Amino acid sequence: MAEEMKVIVFALGQEEYGIEVDKVRTIERIQPITRVPKAPAFIKGVINLRGVVIPVIDLRGRFGLEETVTTDNSRIIIVAANELEVGFIVDSANDVIDIDTESIDTPPEVVGGIKAKYLHGIAKIGEKRLLVMLNLSEVLNRKEILQLEQLEV
């Protein structure tokens, strides 16, 4: 059964990724981030989003990719899932598209260095464009942070 769904498209390096639009609260420009000491390296710190303090994750760091300096195109995508609100730093976010749920295939084991468990699938758009769909609840899984913490101790 084919269903349309809207996704926000953002880029990390050369790859394009998608998050379902109803999980995204807002997309913000890069703003000053307050560093939080003793937190895992991929947690860049916290920002003030209209009076609410929200932690910000560098998605590159989260996926074990090389971290880069933010540019004018960089954005913070604020997502809400599992009762958590978190910001993702991405290289750019500039599109909202409709995709067919049927066009999403299960992901291969490794995509661009990102472990498959963070991925929900891969959507084909048109002829050549591929969109990696994120598995938000796995990306936001706190167990890994807690494990990291224990390693440090």
Partner 1 sequence: MDMNAYLSMFIDESNDHLQALNENLLKLESDPNDISIVQVIFRSAHTLKGMSATMGFEDLASLTHEMENVLDLVRNSKLSMDSFIFDTMFKGLDALEAMVQDVVGGGTGKADVSAINAALQSIVKGDYKNKPAAETAASTGGSAAAAAGNAGNALLDIFQFSVLKQSIEAGNQVYYIKVTLRESCVLKAARAYMVFDVLENNGEVIKSEPSVQELEQEKFDRSFVVFMISGTQVEALKSQIEGVSEIELAEVVLLDDESLQLYAPTTDSRNQAAAPQQANASAAPSNREAAKRETGEAKAQASAGAVAVNRTIRVDIDRLDSLMNLFSELLIDRVRLEQLSSEIKRSDLIETVEHMARVSTDLQDLVLKLRMVPVESVFNRFPRMVRDIAKQLDKKIDLIVSGADTELDRTVIEEIGDPLVHLLRNSLDHGVEMPADRMAAGKPETGTVHLRAYHSGNHVFIEVEDDGNGIDGAKVSRIAVKNGVLTEEEAKRLTEEQMQMLIFAAGFSTADKISDISGRGVGLDVVKSKITSLGGHVTIRSKQGQGTVFSIQLPLTLSIISAMLIKMGEEKYAIPLSSIVETGIIQRDQIATIHGNQMIEFRGNVIPVVSLARVLDVPGYREEEETENEIVVIRKGDKLAALIVDSFIGQSEIVLKSLGKYLPSIKSISGATILGDGQVALIIDPNAFIK
In eight-state DSSP terms, residue 37 is T
Between CA 113 and CA 115 the distance in angstroms is 6
Q: Measuring CA to CA, which residue among 48, 55, 89 is closest to residue 69?
A: 89
Q: Which amino acid is at 6?
A: K
Q: Regarding beta strands 4-12 and 52-58, do their DSSP bridges make them parallel or antiparallel, or are they unpaired?
A: unpaired
The stretch among 45-53, 68-76, 116-124, 130-138 that binds partner 1 (CB under 8 A) is 45-53
The contact mask relative to partner 1 for 65-104 (x = CB under 8 A, - = no) is ------------------xxxx------------------
Interaction between residue 24 and partner 1 (CB under 8 A):
no
Chosen residue from 21, 36, 41, 130 binding partner 1 by CB under 8 A: 36
Q: Which residue number, 86 or 119, has a Cβ lying nearer to partner 1?
A: 86
Find the shortest distance in angstroms from Cβ 138 to partner 1: 14
Chosen residue from 34, 68, 94, 103 binding partner 1 by CB under 8 A: 34
Residues in the chain, total: 153
Q: Which residue number, 50 or 128, has a Cβ lying nearer to partner 1?
A: 50
Angle at the Cα of 53 from the Cα atoms of 78 and 32, rounded to 5 degrees = 75
Between CA 149 and CA 136 the distance in angstroms is 21
Q: Which residue has 């048109």 as its token pair?
A: 126
**Binding residues vs partner 1 (CB under 8 A):** 32, 34-40, 43, 45-48, 50-55, 83-86, 140, 142, 145-146, 149
